[in-house]
Amino acid sequence: ILGLLAGTIALYAVKGRRLHRLSGITFVVAMLAMSLTGIVMALAKGPDANAIGGVTAAYLVITAFTAVKPRSVLTRRIDFSAMLVATTVGGLCLCLALFLSTSSRRSINGIPAPAFLMFAAVCLIGAAGDLRVLRSGPLRGSPRLVRHLWRMCWALWIGVSSFFLGPRERVEMVL
């Protein structure tokens, strides 16, 4: 909930101002905590396709954050590592989407082929952008802000959809 609130505030706050920066950093920390927790929970049940959403959200938040930070050896290494992760996840999602579209199965853990295709597109487009930035140098002006904005907004969408459209498991309180 903190991540969703912070992301919404960052989206509507005046860009570059203190409120935007504070809510943006809060969003990054909350989304990374949510993503990493989601990945661990998904993998604890065995191979679970929901880990893909966690990895994708973490990738988007990290690379959106590095987009607005000054270029350094560290940010280049982070972007390079993130590009490798995004390429791997995007390729995996593409394979899963093709598998589901050609098999009798319609979903994996309730996730249908179009969802895998969407995650593949986001990861592979993001990785292509990462490669471009790594080869040509840091973006400036509007392209830099576009890179930051589309990645943060997709991460926020993943958080919102996970919160509102996530599994509808019954929760029982044990007294």
At 59-88, the pLDDT tens digits run 999 999 999 888 889 999 999 999 999 999
Q: Which two tokens stand for residue 147?
A: 């890179």
In this structure, the number of other CB atoms found within 10 A of the CB of residue 110 comes to 10
Q: At what angle do helices 142-165 and 18-44 cross, to 10 degrees?
A: 50
The rounded distance, in Å, linking the Cα atoms of 129 and 18 is 28
**Per-residue pLDDT at 171:** 42
Cα–Cα distance, 70 to 169 (Å, whole number):
43
* pTM metric for this prediction: 0.86
| Gap between the Cα atoms of 21 and 51, Å rounded | 28
